[in-house]
Amino acid sequence: MEFQDEAFVLSARSHGDTGAVVELLTEQHGRRAAYVAGGASRRMKPFLQPGAKVLADFRSRTSDQLGSARLEPMGEGPAALFDDPLALTGLSAAAAVAGGALPEREPFPGAFYAFEALMNAFAVPEIWPAIFVRFEAGLLESLGFGLDLSRCAATGDTDELIWVSPRTGRAVSRKAGEPYADKLLRLPPFLLGAQAGLDDGDVRDGLALTGHFLEAHIFHALNKPLPAARFWMIDKLQEAQRL
């Protein structure tokens, strides 16, 4: 099979003396691994960093075989973030979460567009942590485990939705949830609408929310933990007082 598609690099590892196996999140063909000849060279390495956008010409004998790819860089990519170590930790975490959560060879264009939006947001330090939470919520939705934040699971009310059930992923109102507050997950207002501002603790609560469902529904089923890069990002956000 052969195709050409835009893609983001998720990871790359050396293979042989000069090549590399590169994991890509493509726009129309999902997560794909491919051998890139010359990928270990000094010239190619800058284009194989997580978050680099490329145009990939992919070839393989069969659909389930490791193929090969020729990559052409598109735009500045992660080089634009080299002066922002915190954004780079977020980028590494996003690539690790996407690479660990998305199955191979299944198209998830929504995940590609969410990753692209997050890449653009990394240029704005004040907002990207919240966009990261939205990115993870979008991954959950793409994989069939989307949160239902439209109305209270118990009463059907749409007002004062401040919690989420850790079992069902559905919103819970203040009135209905008060007796069970210690068992529920906090719902940060920014997940309910773009108009809501960010208060202290909102990003922390958002990451706890999406992390719970990523772990419960996806990573646990794959018998692996949440990526270490995600915990590293949270630690760095905590140190920078951005949670």
Q: Looking at this protein, which amino acid is placed at residue 118?
A: L
The phi-psi region of residue 210 (left if phi > 0; otherwise alpha if psi is between -120 and 50; otherwise beta) is: alpha
Answer for the pair 24, 7: CB distance below 8 angstroms, yes or no: yes
Cα distances (Å, whole numbers) of residue 236 to 65, 77, 81, 138, 233: 38, 22, 16, 23, 5
**What is the Cα 174 distance to its own chain's centre?**
29
114 with 63, same domain: the answer is no
Same structural domain, 123 and 224:
yes
Do 19 and 134 lie in a common domain?
Answer: no
Domain extent, residue 52, equals 2-78
Residue 169 covered by a domain: no
Claim to verify: residue 136 and residue 61 sit in the same structural domain = no
Are both 41 and 99 inside the same structural domain? no
15 in any annotated domain: yes
Rg (CA), the chain: 19
Measured between its terminal Cα atoms, the distance across the chain in Å is: 45
Integer Cα distance of 7 and 38 in angstroms = 18
162 domain residue, yes or no: no
Same domain, 62 and 7: yes
For residue 11, being part of any structural domain is answered with yes
Domain identity same for 108 and 194: yes
- Residues 122, 84: contact at Cβ < 8 Å? yes
Tell me: do 123 and 210 sit in the same domain.
Answer: yes
Contacts of residue 235, Cβ cutoff 8 Å, sequence gap at least 6? none
**Distance in angstroms (rounded) separating the CA atoms of residues 201 and 157:** 25
Is 218 strand, coil or helix?
helix
Within-domain flag for 179: no
**What is the residue whose two structure tokens read 């653009």?**
120
- One domain, residues 107 and 44: no
The tokens of 31 are what?
Answer: 């997560």
Are 69 and 87 found together in one domain?
A: no
174 domain residue, yes or no: no
Q: Residue 155 domain-assigned?
A: no
**Distant-in-sequence, close-in-space partners of 202: CB < 8 Å, separation ≥ 6:** 130, 188, 189, 190
Q: Which of 20, 51, 78 is the last residue of a domain?
A: 78
β-bridge mates for residue 186, sequence order: 163
Question: How far is the CA of 215 from the CAs of 45, 136, 145, 153, 221, in angstroms?
Answer: 32, 11, 11, 22, 8
Query: What span, in angstroms and rounded, lies between the C-alpha atoms of 52 and 122?
Result: 13
- The count of structural domains within the chain is 2
In terms of domains, do 91 and 131 share one? yes
User: Residue 154: its pLDDT value, please?
Assistant: 95
Asked whether residue 47 falls in the same domain as residue 9, the answer is yes
pLDDT at 195: 76
What are the residues whose beta carbons fall under 8 Å from the beta carbon of 146, sequence distance 6 or more? 137, 140, 169
pLDDT in tens, the chain (243 residues): 899 999 999 999 988 888 999 999 999 999 999 999 998 888 888 889 999 999 999 998 876 778 899 999 998 889 889 899 999 999 999 999 999 999 999 999 999 999 999 999 999 999 999 999 999 999 999 999 999 999 999 999 999 999 999 999 999 999 999 999 999 999 999 999 877 789 999 999 999 999 999 999 999 999 999 999 999 999 999 999 999
pLDDT at position 3 is 95
Residue 66: inside a domain: yes
Q: Which two tokens stand for residue 40?
A: 């270990």
Domain boundary among 39, 56, 78: 78
Specify the CATH number for the domain of residue 33. 2.40.50.140
Listed residues 78, 100, 129: the one ending a domain? 78
